[in-house]
């Protein structure tokens, strides 16, 4: 399946992550308690395309009561 592994840093991670998301077939689980609204907004178009392909998406992040992350919860609920 995978030919090799790579290490990523804050500058290279998201390009590789987005590439991996595009190849998702059945289920996507994102476990990220510190995802920012800005980053979530950047991912929403990709997540919307995955939903159109009937990919199940679960995003586990901070508690909904945390005001800083409320926008993220509202947008993910729409998907």
Model confidence, pTM: 0.65
pLDDT at 13: 87
The Cα–Cα gap between 79 and 76 comes to: 5
Calpha distance 43→48 (Å, rounded): 9
pLDDT in tens, 54-67: 999 888 877 655 54
Report whether pLDDT(14) > 90.
Answer: no
How far apart CA 5 and CA 55 sit, in angstroms, is: 25
Model confidence over 18-43: pLDDT tens digits? 899 989 999 999 888 777 778 888 88
- Vertex 35 angle, CA 29 and 12, to 5°: 85
Strand blocks (E) in the chain: 27-31, 56-60
For the cut 60, the answer to whether the pLDDT of residue 74 exceeds it is: no
């Amino acid at each position: 399946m995978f030919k090799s592994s790579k290490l990523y840093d804050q500058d290279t991670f998201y390009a590789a992550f987005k590439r991996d998301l595009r190849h998702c077939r059945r289920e996507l689980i994102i476990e990220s308690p510190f995802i920012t609204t800005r980053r979530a907004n950047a991912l929403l178009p990709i997540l919307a395309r995955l939903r159109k392909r009937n990919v199940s998406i679960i995003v586990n992040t901070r508690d909904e009561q945390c005001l800083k992350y409320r926008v993220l919860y509202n947008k993910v609920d729409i998907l």
